[in-house]
Chains A and B, each alone.
Chain A
Amino acid sequence: MPMNKIPPLLYGCFLALYSANCSAEGKILATPGVSQIEGSGGGGIVPWAQLAGYATEESISVSAACSRVTVKDFSLDSCAVQANLYDKIELSYAKQSFEVTPLKLNLKQNIIGAKINLFGDLVYSTMPQVSLGIQSKRLKTSDVAFSLGAKKDTGTDVYIAASKLHLGFINGYNWLWNVTARHTKSNQLGLLGFGGAHEKKKIQLEVSSAILLNRHLALGVEFRQKSDNLNLGEDHWKDIFIAWFPNKHLSVTLAYVDLGSIAAIDKQTGWYLSTMWYL
C-alpha cells in the first residue's frame, strides 16, 4: 500500500497531535477543500488558495490523503501529508507512483510543497483569499524522462492562487471559484521530467469552480493548462468531481478525469478517487 511509504516521522507527528488532542476544527465544513494530486490543499488537480485542513489563526492541523487515478493506459497512486500552521503556512509532502500499464513501467516522484496565505479570507473578506505556493519535485526514475527529451529530473513549480466562496450566490447555494497561475517546466506533473526542446511559455492557468449542494456535498469542475515541452502532444487536464465531507475528519472525492494524451498515447479518460483524513 502506498500509505506505507510515508516516513515514520510523519506518523509520529500524527500520533503526537492526536494524543495532544490539538485537533483543529475552526473552519466551516468543506471550506478547506481536499488534497490535490501533488499534495497541496486544493481540488483534485489544482492547488487552491485555501490551506489544507481546518486550522485557523489560533490552531494547527495535520491531514493526509491518498488518491488513485486510473485512465485507459496509466494509473497514478499518490499519497500526501499536510501540516497547516495557524492557517498561514501549509507544508506538504507527496509521493507519486505512476504506472505505465502497456510497458509495465513504474515511475516515482516525491514532491515537497509549501504555501503561504498572503491575504484575504475565503469566506469572510470581500477580496478573495490569495496564496503563494511552491512544489519542489524530484523524479526518482529519470531514465524514461531523459529518453523522451526532458532536460532535468528535478523542478520547482511556483504558483499564485486566488479563491473565493460566495455564500448563497447561486439561488442560495454557495459557489466557490479558484484561479491559479503556475510557473512550471514539469512534463506530466514531472513524472516525465522537466523542460524539453519544445519549451515555450511557462505560465499555466488552472481554474476550479464548485457548487455546494448541501453542507456535505460539493460538485465541481476543474481545468489545468499544460505545456508540451516534450512535443508529445501533452494536453490540458479536465475533471468533474463530487466531494463528500461527512465530518471534519474525512472527505472522499470521486472525479471523472480527461487527461488527454499522455506520452503520445491518446484519449486518457478515467476515474479519480481520493480519501483525505484530517486531524
Chain B
Amino acid sequence: MKKSIILLLLMSCFACSSPSGNIESHVESHIDSNSQAQTEPTLYQKMGEKPALDNIIDHLINIIGQDDVVFAHFAQSNVTRFQDQLTVFLCHLADGPCQYKGDSMEDIHQGMYINKNEFNHFVELFIEAMDAADISYPIQNLLLAQLAPLRKTIINM
C-alpha cells in the first residue's frame, strides 16, 4: 500500500522537474558547433543537426510516396522545394540556426481540408521516418511536442 503511494509521489516529482533537466551532461562533448558554448544544447543539436534532419526528411518523402492516404495531398508538390522548405522549417522549430521565412502553415494547408484522421496518419508517417533515421524515442517526442501546437493551423483549413 505504502509503496504505491511513494511511487505516485515519485512520479509527480518527476513530472514537476523541468523536461530539460538531465540531458546536459552527455551532450556537452559536441557543443562546439555552437558559438555560444556552455548553454543548454538546442533540440536541433540533440537530434544530430543537419545530417539527422536530412535523413528524416529523405525517409519521410519516401514514405509519403508510398502512402495512399496522404500522397494525394502531395501529388502536386515540387519535391525539392518541399524538402528545402521543410528542412528549414524543422530546423527553425528545433531551435537550430535557421530562419523559416516561407509561407505560413495556414496558407500552405488552405483548401486541403485535412481531417483529423489524415493528420494523425501523417504524424505516424513522420514517426516512421524518425524511426528509420534512428532518432531516439525521447528526441522524437520533443520534436513532436514542438509540432503538436501547429495542428490547429493545419487541419480543416
**A and B held together in a complex:** yes
Within 8 A of A (CB), among B120-141: 120-121, 123-124, 127, 136-141
| Inter-chain contacts of A172 with B (CB < 8 A) | 19, 23, 136-142
Are A221 and B141 interface neighbours, CB within 8 A?
no
A58-B116, A169-B15, A209-B11 known; A221-B4 Cβ under 8 A: yes
Chain A, residues 252-275, CB within 8 Å of chain B (1/0): the string is: 000010101000000001000000
User: How far, in whole Å, are A238 and B140 apart by their CA atoms in the complex?
Assistant: 32
| Inter-chain contacts of A170 with B (CB < 8 A) | 14-15, 17, 19
State how many angstroms separate the Cβ of A15 from the closest Cβ of chain B. 23
| Inter-chain contacts of A58 with B (CB < 8 A) | 115-117
Are B142 and A168 interface neighbours, CB within 8 A?
yes
Are A240 and B19 interface neighbours, CB within 8 A?
no
Can you list 19 A-B pairs, Cβ within 8 angstroms, ordered by A?
A25-B121, A28-B124, A56-B117, A57-B116, A126-B149, A167-B144, A167-B148, A168-B142, A170-B15, A170-B19, A171-B21, A171-B23, A171-B138, A173-B137, A177-B15, A215-B127, A238-B5, A239-B4, A240-B7
- A72 CB within 8 Å of chain B: no
| Inter-chain contacts of A240 with B (CB < 8 A) | 3-4, 7
- A211 CB within 8 Å of chain B: yes
Q: Which of B139, B141, B152 lies at the interface centre, i.e. has the most chain A CB atoms within 10 A of its CB?
A: B141
Are B116 and A26 interface neighbours, CB within 8 A?
yes
User: How far, in whole Å, are A166 and B19 apart by their CA atoms in the complex?
Assistant: 10
| Inter-chain contacts of B140 with A (CB < 8 A) | 172
A168-B142, A174-B141 known; A57-B115 Cβ under 8 A: yes
Tell me how many residue pairs across A and B have CB atoms closer than 8 Å. 98
Interface residues of B (CB under 8 A from A): 1, 3-5, 7-8, 11-12, 14-15, 17, 19, 21-23, 115-117, 120-121, 123-124, 127, 136-145, 148-149, 151-152
- A141 CB within 8 Å of chain B: no
| Inter-chain contacts of B138 with A (CB < 8 A) | 168, 171-173
A58-B115, A124-B152, A214-B137 known; A167-B8 Cβ under 8 A: no
User: How far, in whole Å, are A239 and B1 apart by their CA atoms in the complex?
Assistant: 9
User: How far, in whole Å, are A171 and B121 apart by their CA atoms in the complex?
Assistant: 25
A28-B120, A57-B116, A167-B145 known; A215-B4 Cβ under 8 A: no
Are B19 and A169 interface neighbours, CB within 8 A?
yes
User: How far, in whole Å, are A269 and B120 apart by their CA atoms in the complex?
Assistant: 40
| Inter-chain contacts of A28 with B (CB < 8 A) | 120, 123-124
User: How far, in whole Å, are A57 and B120 apart by their CA atoms in the complex?
Assistant: 12
Chain A, residues 112-150, CB within 8 Å of chain B (1/0): the string is: 000000000001101000000000000000000000000
User: How far, in whole Å, are A171 and B5 apart by their CA atoms in the complex?
Assistant: 23
A124-B151, A124-B152, A240-B7 known; A168-B116 Cβ under 8 A: no
- A198 CB within 8 Å of chain B: no
The answer, among B14, B123, B145, B149, for a CB contact under 8 Å with A168, is: B145
| Inter-chain contacts of A57 with B (CB < 8 A) | 115-116
Are B144 and A168 interface neighbours, CB within 8 A?
yes
- A59 CB within 8 Å of chain B: yes
State how many angstroms separate the Cβ of B126 from the closest Cβ of chain A. 11
Are B11 and A27 interface neighbours, CB within 8 A?
no
- A175 CB within 8 Å of chain B: yes
Are A175 and B15 interface neighbours, CB within 8 A?
yes
A172-B138, A173-B141 known; A238-B115 Cβ under 8 A: no
Within 8 A of B (CB), among A8-28: 24-28
- A223 CB within 8 Å of chain B: yes
| Inter-chain contacts of B1 with A (CB < 8 A) | 238, 258, 260, 269
User: How far, in whole Å, are A256 and B142 apart by their CA atoms in the complex?
Assistant: 31
| Inter-chain contacts of A214 with B (CB < 8 A) | 137
Chain A, residues 186-226, CB within 8 Å of chain B (1/0): the string is: 00000000000000000000010101001100001101000
Closest 6 CB pairs of A and B: A172-B138, A168-B141, A167-B145, A168-B142, A56-B116, A26-B117
